[in-house]
């Protein structure tokens, strides 16, 4: 599912929403490419498609980095999420 950038957003949220839409697009592309690779029986094609998916993962990371720079609450919540997962891993 592709995200759309809303046409009516406030200036202080525009860049954050652009970055989130970009992240969604990249994650969507990763899923598509990995599924395509799973369907292909051609090993060369599988490898090329997975390499493309890897590039999309880098792009998603670039968007996330920029988002955390612009949205300090996002940065804090990402750190909180890491701490929560680490705590849960110890319980499991």
Give the Cα separation of 75 and 5 in Å (integer): 21
Average model confidence (pLDDT) across the chain: 92
Q: CB neighbours (10 Å) of residue 13?
A: 13
Instruction: Give the rounded distance of the alpha carbon of 42 from its chain centre.
Output: 27
pTM for this prediction:
0.84
Q: Let me know: does 40 contact 49? Beta carbons within 8 Å.
A: yes
- Residue 4 is predicted with a pLDDT of 67
DSSP classification of residue 92: -
Tell me the mean pLDDT in the region 69-88: 96
Q: Residue 23 is encoded by which pair of tokens?
A: 């992240």
């Amino acid at each position: 599912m592709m995200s759309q950038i809303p046409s009516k957003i406030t200036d202080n949220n525009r860049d954050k929403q652009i970055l989130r839409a970009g992240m969604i697009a990249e994650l969507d592309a990763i899923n598509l490419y990995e599924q395509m690779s799973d369907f292909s029986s051609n090993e060369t094609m599988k490898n090329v498609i997975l390499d493309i998916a890897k590039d999309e993962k880098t792009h998603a990371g670039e968007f996330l980095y920029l988002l955390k720079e612009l949205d300090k609450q996002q940065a804090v919540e990402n750190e909180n999420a890491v701490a929560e997962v680490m705590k849960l891993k110890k319980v499991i």
